[in-house]
């Protein structure tokens, strides 16, 4: 572990919900929940106001509605989130060539590699400046953790939430971690936490006191040894820039284990599209699709399938990931899912059969996440006789020939309700209702959160 706190971890605060609040003045300071709105919908992000009611990510949307019935429930706008993410990642890459994105709203940065920081004072100055730049460029807030290792930097950013900065001085890590719950360590979820609790181990200090042999006996060699090292604050993992990787992958860890097989399939399809998006962003293709599944008992399975040639086609990757999932038993619950592509190349070999199958699905949207959410929202909000081309999704952007830019508050029984406001409005906008087939009302592109 290095001698200076020059590993930076950035985590945007309640990213999707915060972006929606920034875009919609009427929702600022109010509970906002973003996710699929249908009966099988899942919470993607909840604002801090909604979290006070117990709403959290990966929660079934029905449960969220019971906990926070007066919150605003919106379908994701992934085009906007990607645009904001690109702005944030550009700020990070201006600091260092070693930036490791974990998702649209989270990344590690090696400040020492970019000669941006070399000690506590310079690292803290960089963190403060970065937070100010993010607010200036995007209008949003991010929390920054600074430490000598990736694990502790991530814990520091959690301590900093929301909209803060925490620097952990080298040499103080064990004292910081010792009194905290074992759940603060990466990879310790409900199942592992319960297992440790039954053994009388509740804090990080008690993990260290138990010793490696006892941890291995309780949890197995790999997990036990890794957990013991983390309790001692030992983490030598470097920040790895994505362009230097031999593979491209994305994964999500869920606060609550997923038991519903349908939801597992939907998550795998969503991850496959995110993986392809990242693959294309790197200008690469790949021939081996990899599925990663961490189950309720922390056992981790990986399955892979090698294609006939390199591809960057989302339909091909989705189908391969779905086939791999069929060979995995998820009955007891799933705590982590990941989809990756390896065997990278700079060209693609089109799979015409997969393309044809994908075309038959009629999923002509930019992002699978948006497709799933829109289908679920339409099932709930739109009557069966409503034409598919006039479906209006809660939260999505519209423009009216007379009243200008606004967003959909809701739709049903042949009507759509729109609030006319923009990110630059000084207060909540007026609400009007139209027929769903009103020729003067059209879908629109998201506006930047900060006026250019």
For residue 162, is the peptide bond before it cis, meaning its omega torsion is within 30 degrees of 0? yes
- 398 forms bridges with which residues in the sheet? 406, 443
Catalytic (active-site) positions: 106
Contacts 24+ apart (CB under 8 A), 133-136: 133/91, 134/12, 134/88, 134/91, 136/450
Structure tokens, 257: 């284990």
Please state, in angstroms and rounded to a whole number, the distance separating the CA atoms of residues 95 and 216: 40
Backbone angles phi, psi at 405, to 5 degrees: -80, 145
> Containing H/E element for 378?
helix 368-381
β strands within 240-297, DSSP E: 247-258, 285-295
d(CA 65, CA 33): 9
Q: List residues bridging with 418 in a β-sheet.
A: 408, 432
Q: Which long-range contacts (CB under 8 A, 24 or more apart) does 379-383 make?
A: 379/38, 379/39, 380/37, 380/38, 380/39, 381/37, 381/410, 381/411, 381/412, 382/411, 382/412, 382/436, 383/412, 383/413, 383/414
Torsion of Cα atoms, 340 then 15 then 253 then 372, to 10° = -70
Q: Contact, 154 vs 145, CB < 8 A?
A: yes
């Amino acid at each position: 572990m290095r001698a200076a706190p020059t590993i930076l971890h950035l985590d945007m605060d309640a990213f999707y919900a915060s972006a929606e609040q920034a875009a919609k003045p009427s929702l600022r300071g109010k509970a906002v929940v973003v996710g699929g709105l249908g009966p099988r919908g899942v919470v993607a992000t909840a604002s801090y106001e909604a979290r006070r009611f117990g709403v959290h990510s990966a929660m079934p949307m029905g449960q969220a509605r019971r906990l926070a019935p007066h919150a605003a429930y919106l379908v994701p706008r992934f085009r906007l989130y990607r645009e904001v993410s690109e702005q944030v990642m550009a700020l990070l890459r201006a600091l260092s060539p070693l930036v490791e994105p974990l998702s649209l709203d989270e990344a590690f940065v090696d400040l020492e590699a970019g000669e941006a920081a070399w000690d506590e004072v310079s690292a803290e100055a960089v963190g403060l400046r970065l937070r100010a730049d993010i607010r200036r460029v995007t209008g949003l807030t991010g929390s920054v953790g600074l430490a000598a290792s990736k694990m502790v930097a991530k814990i520091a950013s959690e301590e900093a939430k929301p909209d803060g900065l925490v620097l952990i001085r080298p040499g103080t890590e064990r004292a910081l971690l010792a009194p905290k719950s074992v759940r603060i360590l990466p990879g310790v979820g409900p199942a592992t936490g319960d297992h440790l609790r039954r053994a009388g181990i509740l804090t990080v200090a008690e993990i260290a006191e138990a010793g490696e042999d006892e941890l291995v006996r309780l949890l197995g060699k790999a997990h036990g040894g890794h957990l013991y090292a983390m309790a001692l604050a030992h983490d030598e993992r470097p920040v790895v820039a994505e362009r230097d990787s031999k593979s491209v992958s994305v994964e999500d860890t869920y606060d609550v284990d997923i038991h519903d097989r349908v939801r597992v399939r939907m998550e795998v399809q969503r991850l496959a599209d995110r993986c392809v998006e990242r693959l294309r962003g790197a200008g690469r293709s790949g021939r081996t699709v990899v599925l990663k599944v961490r189950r309720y008992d922390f056992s981790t399975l990986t399955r892979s399938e090698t294609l006939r040639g390199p591809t960057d086609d989302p339909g091909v990757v989705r189908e391969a990931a779905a086939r791999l999932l069929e060979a995995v038993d998820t009955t007891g619950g799933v705590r982590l899912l990941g989809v990756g592509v390896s065997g990278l190349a700079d060209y693609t070999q089109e799979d015409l059969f997969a393309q044809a199958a994908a075309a038959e699905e009629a999923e002509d949207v930019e992002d699978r996440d948006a497709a799933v959410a829109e289908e679920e929202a339409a099932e709930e909000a739109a009557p069966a006789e409503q034409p598919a081309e006039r479906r209006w999704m809660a939260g999505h952007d519209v423009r009216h020939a007379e009243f200008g830019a606004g967003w959909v508050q809701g739709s049903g029984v042949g009507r759509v309700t729109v609030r006319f406001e923009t990110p630059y409005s000084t207060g909540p906008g007026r609400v009007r209702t139209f027929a769903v087939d009103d020729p003067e009302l059209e879908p629109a592109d998201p506006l930047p959160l900060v006026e250019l």
